[in-house]
Structure 1
Amino acid sequence: MNNKFLLEIGTEEIPARFIDNTLSQIRNKFKNVFKEERIKFEDIKVYATPRRLVLLAEGISEKQEDLQELAKGPSKRIAFDEDGNPTKALLGFARGQGVDPSEVVIKEYKGEEYVYAHKLEKGRLVKEVLEDTIPEIIKSINFPKSMRWGGKNFRFARPIRWIVSLFNDQVLSFDLEGIKCSNITKGHRFLGSSSIEINEVNEYFNKLRENYVIVDQEERRKIISNGCLKLAKEKGGNLLLDEDLLKELTYIVEYPTPFVGRVKEEYLKLPKEVVITPMKEHQRYIPISDDNGKLMPYFIAVRNGNEEYIDIVSKGNEKVLGARLEDAKFFFEEDTKNKLEDYVEDLKEIVYQEKLGTIYDKTIRIEKLAKQIGEYLEVGKETLMNLERASYLAKADLVTKMVYEFTELQGIMGREYANISGENDIVSTAIYEQYLPRFAGDTLPTTTAGAILSISDKLDNIAGSFAIGIQPTGSQDPYGLRRQCLGIINIILDKNLHLSIKQLVKDALDLYASEAGLDFSQDEVVEQILEFFRGRLKNMLIDNGIRYDVVDAILNIDNDDITDLVIRAKEVNKWIDKEGLNEVLAAFNRVVNLSEKAQDNKVDKELFEVEVEKELYEAYITVEDEVQKLLNKKEYGEALNQFIKLREPIDKYLDNVMVMVDDMNIRNNRLSLMKKIADTMLTICDLSKIVSK
């Protein structure tokens, strides 16, 4: 069990964003194969550099485990004749299983005796199994984008240039459309050897290290993180290194060496984000700030190589960054010659979407939708004025030279240019916050105006896309509508807003119909978008620990107030742990089933024939009054507790009263009572969706 298997897939440089998912696929696919092929192993590790994907499997068995199966044959009465001799049926079965008829055993199955044969499949050598399975594993790896090359019939992220396949000290060859398997790997593209012989698995990592390749990404990550932090401290500053940039740096180098470069003081007069964006997004440099958050005249970069000539490398990177920042300075100076509002008219020249008009058209829609939401929320007059101004200016920075060159600065430059143009802080902040949250875990708008503007912008995107039939399908969501929908939900919950999503969707679609002249079935599109919101909310609630059946019970009622639905979900999730829940659910399920046959919920007390009818109705009236009071206070758990009081009257009623009598007036009256109870219950949640334990 001390066997080791090493697989290295050598490629052209793979994009950093592909690597994490690819490593996960490789690990899982090999684990599954080992399990399916009955191969024992102790551990599977995966590594990656820009030019190689590596799997190391340790503690592998020499052979597959033997497989013993018990194959079921014909029944005993068919397998043997009256004298106990094998029939043709038994002989055929034994021949098919490769056993002698005398070796079969008799076992009972569902009250009848059958013949069974013990079938033994001897385990193959693990090396043979791997030779057969590895090509298919490699071909099955998926990438966001892949390519063919050199006449190959399969796709990969980048062309595969070499493969190392070693089982201990032996090359394990397999056919991958002519790509050679060997024990020869390559070192660093510029510093290492282009032909490194690996005689056994144990020497792989050290030999590559000698050739300036650190295979373990976690080790590279620590070298980068610790090295950059050390350099920043030497300059008396703090490292502005986020996880995404650290991950990218880890996967774009094979031998990391951090170094410091200088930034000219004149560029630090620009807005902070204008300096940081070219550094991080375009050059993969790390800014340094002082204790007050002010940028210092330094940056840290990571070289894919050693420290030789590091001063020359630093100077070269300073020149590259300097050119970028000189452009940014020029754009900033040109943009600020005009006020932000002067750019709004230019939005008429930019198409938002062919069927949905220009960015200017979108601005007008957002302005109207934001005002409508503000009125629903009854915000103050000043907030409405700020919201209207922010909506009008929201997209103006898209036509500035800075944002045209550095698209990541949309909203950020809008905020900066708004401040420079004399707009108040609420307006400028809202312009920036319209894009929040930009990704999972991102910050949410802090201002009311920013929150409303963000909701309006995202809802306009969703409504327009659905109206013209552009909807997320499967894993495809090119316009990021799922993310925007979650953004709306998170903003609503964070601000504790009570809004009708259905009404907002109708408002957004009405604007497309009136402003853009779109022709679509509003009822159909409204329901599609509401279902889209329900799907996102359902996933969110389940991820937060709410039982799936509770989520179904909440989302199945006529309520589209997201904040209220989340409160209900949490309350019901706690409530269902009560004793006697099954009896309560059984009673209400009987009520719901009968209520579906009712024409309405109008009850005529004069048609009551027996005392239990009156008792149930009176019990319901008492409970219904208390439930409404509790609903108004959003005490949903207590409201459900009131409904528990109806269980006994319901059971007594249904056990003693025939609902579906011949007299139609009596029958409809009794069904109406069931519907009245069910309708009130549905003002809390749909208990029929709760699964009994």
Structure 2
Amino acid sequence: MADMLPLLVELGTEELPPKALPELAEAFHAGILQALAARRIEVAESHGGERGRALYSPRRLASWLPGVAVQQPQQFNEVMGPYLNVALDANGQPTQALLGFAQKQGVDWSKLERITDAKGMRFAYRSSRPGARTLDLLAEVVAEAVRGLPIPRPMRWGERDTAFVRPAHWLVILLGREVAPGEVLGLRADRMSRGHRFHHDKGVWLNEAGEYLQALREARVLADPRERRERIRAEIAAAARQAGGNPRVRDELLEEVNCLVEWPKAVLCSFDPEFLRVPQEALVSTMEGNQKFFPVLNAAGKLSEKFIGIANIDSKDPDEVRKGYERVIRPRFADARFFFDEDLRQGLAAMAEGLKTVTYQAKLGSVADKCARVAELAEVVALMTGADAALARRAAELGKADLQSRLVGEFPELQGIAGRHYALAAKEPEAVALAIDEAYMPRFAGDAIAPSALGKVLAVAERLDTLAGGFAAGLKPTGNKDPFALRRNALGLARTIIEGRMDIDLRALIDKAVDQVGFALVDQRRAEQAKAAEHAMAAGVAVENPRMVVGDPVSSGMATELYEFILERLRAYYVEQGVPALQFDAVAGVRPASLLDFDRRLKAIAEFARLREAASLAAANKRIRNILKKVDGQIPPQVDPQRLVEPAEHSLHKALAAALADTEPMLAKRDYVGTLKRLAQLQGPVDNFFERTLVMAEDPALRDNRLALLRQVADRFAAVAAVEQLSAG
């Protein structure tokens, strides 16, 4: 192995954008590795297989590598010359073409080598030279990594021509103890880093690359994001213990705070307990989203009046820092309290009435119209699942009312949550209040589905109307564009049905949803036509044909298209669970009306695929399907035992009759696993039939009878899934 030394690269800047910082740092580190690899400079692996680390803080991007070769390996060069028929004359003497090539390479033609490629033998010049010193290449390595960073809007500063995400102020490039010559972003490489802006506002001399982290610790900077993150966790935990509660620490907020501080110090703060009568979600949203504070919960898991701020300084007077944090949070809390009180005075019913004047979508009417459609769907879903239909309708009627509230106007993320509080305040049944909130679940990737029965009903009805409305209004997703979030809604619908064990007829519900939005389109067009006629008459323009012409509001195939769209989202859902595409296609091939039934069939197919008979039966079913596709005319509905001639067809008919009798009660109970295991016993008779029987016999009666037998086999398998899809051949 070549001689190796540790490498440190640090680019010091003004405070970098916190949400982009981890990605920038990883890209910077990866860019340096890539640039070194392009120059064939070897990089050693540290313990654990890592090739160094991306280090960062708000004011720096850094890359540390435990070992980098101090020199490139020997560089080889090969230049292709003319082919022999061009290079040599009839006497074997060099032509002008060969002499010119040799002169260009600076050698006598006799020193050239002869090589053979696909077109024949030719002359070539091969040379080698020692590799360059790594130290001399590092400036261009870093410059290349900087150019490759994902910076959508670079900025310029001062009178420099260079641009970066933030103004850059210092550059460290150390290979072992030596500083690399060169400049990047107009900064000459040095060994001088910088410490904390307030605790150590001066240079930090680095003797060699390996002392970087410790030297910065002494200058009150934790440059290792892992170490800084754990320090923040420990500080929060200690402050929460002091408060007698438990901190609420979301990973996203922890990472953002980690990118805001270099020397974290927790400060325990408090607010007026009177604010706790405001929905705690509004207070938490303000603390976490606006101020980057960590709430403290009491033993019951409810919000307490304590919270924790993370300062970027170990203050000599922490009380002043505490007062500052408490001061900035009070106006936001006061606003939330004011909005909440105003909303309570207005009441949820009045808010719902106001939705009539709020447009949901230009072609689909108001938000109130949407709530009415969702209410109709919710009743149907409730009847399918045994939930209370009257409560489902009530929850749907109030489901969007909080969009008119001042609290949601200030905190949009509280949609549904605010409605739950206002419904409870209005003495609505608790199940209705919970459903208003849970209808939005899952709110994001990885979120749980609605836990209550009524919440699931409303979540399904809400998404069905959104999907049908989006398709009817011409807002289907295209590429990366999905203005109605239809993909997310389809996945949320599928997850709620499957994970909520809701055995409902999705096809029937889609039909109803599509019919409803069709009527909505008609009503909207009629309203527009009536308004146009009214304006024309007011302007004195005669309206020759006052009859309202509407036309076909929705495509006849829209329900099928919407079902297929949901299946595609379902495909992605199962791919994440490791379900093979062939197994998914096998179930999708029979288009079950119930997604819960789809899930049961998929689990059965997974077990069937593990059986030794599966591959043979899948191939046989594929062969059967191909044969049946080619048949002209009708196949008899039943097999005529009198027309069974060959022993193999007698054997299959007998085995199939027994299998049909055994699987009938299994299918009635949706025991798909048992059905497929029983049908797997047909492998021998089916294989024997194909080996010994000519299906397409010349006698039409024999041929049709054998086709009827094969169709019975295929139809019984198809009662579970299109098992022929499992055959890749």
Q: Is the 8 A contact 2:622 2:727 kept in 1?
A: no
Q: For residue 237 of structure 1, what is the aligned residue in structure 2?
A: 245
Contact 1:595 1:672 in 2 (8 A): no
Q: Give the aligned partner of residue 543 of structure 2.
A: none
Residue identity opposite 1:245 in structure 2:
L
Structure 2: gaps (5+ residues): 46-50, 525-551
Match for residue 445 of structure 2 among 440, 446, 471: 440
Are 1:338 and 2:343 matched, yes or no? no
Counterpart secondary structure, 1:288: strand
1:131 to 1:674, Cα distance in 2 relative to 1, 3 A: farther
Q: Distance in 1 between matches of 2:664 and 2:38?
A: 58
Aligned residue identity for 1:592: R
Give 2:5's aligned residue. 3
Question: Are 1:586 and 2:619 an aligned pair?
Answer: yes
* Among candidates 235, 255, 264, match of residue 256 of structure 1: 264
Give the whole-Å Cα distance in 2 for the aligned partners of 1:443 and 1:274: 21
For residues 290-439 of structure 1, the aligned pairs below 5 Å read 290-377=298-385, 379-380=386-387, 383-439=388-444
1:106/1:157 Cα in 2 relative to 1: closer, same or farther (>3 Å)?
Answer: closer
Greater shift, 277-286 or 174-183, is seen at 174-183
- Contact 2:653–2:709 (CA<8 Å) still a contact in 1? yes
Q: 1:223 aligns with which of 228, 231, 234?
A: 231
Query: Could you list the per-position Cα deviations for residues 43-67 of structure 1 after superposition, in whole angstroms to 9, with x for gaps in the alignment?
Result: 2211222333322222112344568
Aligned position for 1:61 = 69
Question: Secondary structure in 2 aligned to 1:16?
Answer: coil
Q: CA, structure 1 residues 100+187, in 2 after alignment: closer, same or farther (shift >3 Å)?
A: farther
Which one-letter code corresponds to 2:659 in the other structure?
Answer: V
After TM superposition, the structure 1 stretch with the greater mean CA deviation from structure 2, 675-684 or 131-140, is 131-140
Taking the TM superposition and a 5 Å limit, the aligned residue runs for 1:32-51 are: 32=34, 34=36, 37-41=39-43, 42=45, 43-51=51-59
Q: Which residue of 1 aligns with 2:538?
A: none
Query: Normalising by the residue count of structure 2, what TM-score does the alignment of the two structures yield?
Result: 0.81
Compared CA separation, residues 176 and 594, structure 1 to 2 (3 A): farther
- Higher mean C-alpha deviation, range 579-588 or range 211-220: 579-588
Kindly tell me: are residues 206 and 679 of structure 1, through their superposed partners in 2, closer, same or farther at Cα, counting changes over 3 Å? same
> Amino acid of the residue matched to residue 533 of structure 1?
I
CA shift for structure 1 position 390: 0.8
Shift of 1:185: 4.6
CA contact (8 A) 2:615 2:726 kept: no
Question: Alpha carbons of 1:444 and 1:198: their partners in 2 closer, same or farther (altered >3 Å)?
Answer: same
Alignment partner for residue 602 of structure 2, among 569, 574, 581? 569
Counterparts of 1:538 and 1:468, CA distance in 2: 25
Q: What's 2:563 paired with?
A: 530
- Count of matched residue positions in the alignment of Structure 1 and Structure 2: 682
In structure 1, distance between residues paired with 2:494 and 2:722? 22
Q: Tell me the secondary structure at the aligned position of residue 545 of structure 1.
A: coil
AA partner of residue 257 (structure 2): L
Deviation, structure 1 residue 246 = 1.7
Q: What SS does the corresponding residue of 1:470 show, helix, strand or coil? A: coil
Larger mean Cα displacement after TM superposition, 16-25 or 555-564? 16-25
CA drift at 1:566: 2.1
Q: Which residue of 616, 623, 626 maps to 2:662?
A: 626
Counterpart CA distance in 2 for 1:141 and 1:663 is 74
- Are residues 1:558 and 2:563 paired? no
User: Relative to structure 1, is the Cα distance of residues 120 and 525 closer, same or farther in structure 2, using a 3 angstrom cutoff?
Assistant: farther
- How many Å separate the matches in 2 of 1:257 and 1:502? 57
Q: How many angstroms does 1:561 deviate by?
A: 2.2
Which residue identity does 1:622 align to in structure 2?
A: A
- Cα shift at 1:409: 1.9
Aligned partner of residue 17 in structure 1, secondary structure: coil
- Give TM-score, length-normalised by structure 1: 0.85
Q: Do 1:363 and 1:394's aligned partners in 2 also have CA atoms closer than 8 Å?
A: yes
Which stretch has the larger CA shift, 96-105 or 386-395?
96-105
The equivalent position to 1:595 in structure 2, one of 628, 639, 646, is 628
Give the drift of 1:219: 1.6
Q: SS at the partner of 1:499?
A: coil
| Paired AA for residue 394 in structure 2 | R
Q: Take 2:75 and 2:643, find their aligned partners in 1: how far apart are those partners? A: 71
Query: In the alignment, residue 609 of structure 2 is paired with which amino acid?
Result: I
- For residues 64 and 364 of structure 1, do their structure 2 counterparts lie closer, same or farther at Cα, with a shift above 3 Å needed? farther
CA distance in 2: counterparts of 1:215 and 1:345, whole angstroms: 56
CA contact (8 A) 2:374 2:461 kept: yes
Moved more, 391-400 or 65-74: 65-74
Q: Which range is displaced more, 653-662 or 641-650? A: 653-662
Classify the secondary structure of the residue corresponding to 1:460.
helix
Question: Residues 47 and 70 (structure 1 numbering): CA distance in 2 closer, same or farther, change over 3 Å?
Answer: same
Alpha-carbon shift at residue 659 of structure 1 (Å): 3.4
- Cα offset for 1:119? 7.2
Q: 1:161, CA displacement in angstroms?
A: 5.8
Is 132-141 or 570-579 further displaced after alignment? 132-141
- Distance apart, 1:493 and its partner CA: 2.2
The answer to whether the 8 A contact 1:601-1:676 is kept is no
Q: CA deviation at 1:420?
A: 0.9
Give the Å deviation of 1:630: 2.2
Q: Does 1:501 align with 2:510?
A: no
Is 1:450 the counterpart of 2:455? The answer is yes
Looking at structure 2, the residues matched to 67 and 571 of structure 1 have their Cα atoms a distance apart, in angstroms, of: 60
Greater mean deviation of Cα atoms: 125-134 or 215-224: 125-134
Specify the code of the residue in structure 1 equivalent to 2:63.
L
What is the identity, as a one-letter code, of the residue corresponding to 1:584? L
Distance 1:551 1:25, change over 3 A: farther
Tell me by how many angstroms 1:416 deviates: 1.0
Q: How many Å apart are 1:372 and its aligned residue? A: 2.1
In structure 2, what is the equivalent of residue 635 of structure 1? 671
How big is each residue's C-alpha offset from its partner over 1:279-326, in whole Å with a ceiling of 9 and x where there is no partner? 222222222232233433322111122223321121121111111111
Offset of residue 619 of structure 1: 3.0
2: CA distance between counterparts of 1:395 and 1:227?
Answer: 41
Moved more, 14-23 or 124-133: 124-133
1:48 alignment partner, SS class: strand
Find the partner of 2:725 among 680, 689, 692. Answer: 689
CA separation of 1:132 and 1:376: change in aligned 2, threshold 3 A = same
1:276–1:287 contact (8 Å) kept in structure 2? yes
- RMSD between aligned residues: 4.2
Q: Distance in 1 between matches of 2:688 and 2:162?
A: 69
Call closer, same or farther: CA 1:514–1:269 in 2, change over 3 Å: same
Which stretch of structure 1 is more off in the superposition, 130-139 or 238-247? 130-139
Measured after TM superposition, the shift of residue 338 of structure 1 is 2.7
**Runs (5+) with no aligned partner, structure 1:** none
**Structure 1 residue aligned with 2:222, among 207, 214, 224?**
214
Aligned 1:20-39 pairs, distance under 5 A? 20-32=22-34, 34=36, 37-39=39-41
Which range moved further: 629-638 or 246-255? 629-638
The residue type paired with residue 610 of structure 1 is V
Is the CA contact (8 Å cut-off) linking 2:112 and 2:123 kept in structure 1? no
Amino acid at match of 1:430: A
User: Does the 8 Å contact 1:591/1:674 carry over to 2?
Assistant: yes
